[in-house]
Amino acid sequence: MFFFFIIGTRFFTWGSGENVPQQMQCGRCGTVASFPLKKGMNFITLFFIIPVIPISGVKQLAECPNCKARYQIGS
């Protein structure tokens, strides 16, 4: 038998269903909108898709609804 594992890292996000309370302007495309809030975390992954070990805390991100640029919120 021959086993091999492909290890990588990947940033996973999930939506919280909330929006940033105030309007923001996207620094990339200039869209002004109430950006949806996302939570995200960096994981070490197996075969690129299976999250195994979290390597960062949960981060709050705002995602531009137009170009999908992500901005970290808070500290």
Interface positions with Zn ion (CB under 5 A): 26, 28-29, 31, 64, 66-67, 69
Q: Which is nearer to Zn ion, 31 or 34 (CB)?
A: 31
Smallest separation, CB 25 to Zn ion (Å)? 9
| Least distance CB 23 / Zn ion (angstroms) | 13
Which amino acid is it at 46? L
User: Which is closer to Zn ion, CB of 43 or CB of 63?
Assistant: 63
Torsion angle, alpha carbons of 46, 48, 53, 56, to 10: 160
Question: What does the block give as tokens for 19?
Answer: 């929006």
Per DSSP bridges, beta strands 50-54 and 70-72 are unpaired
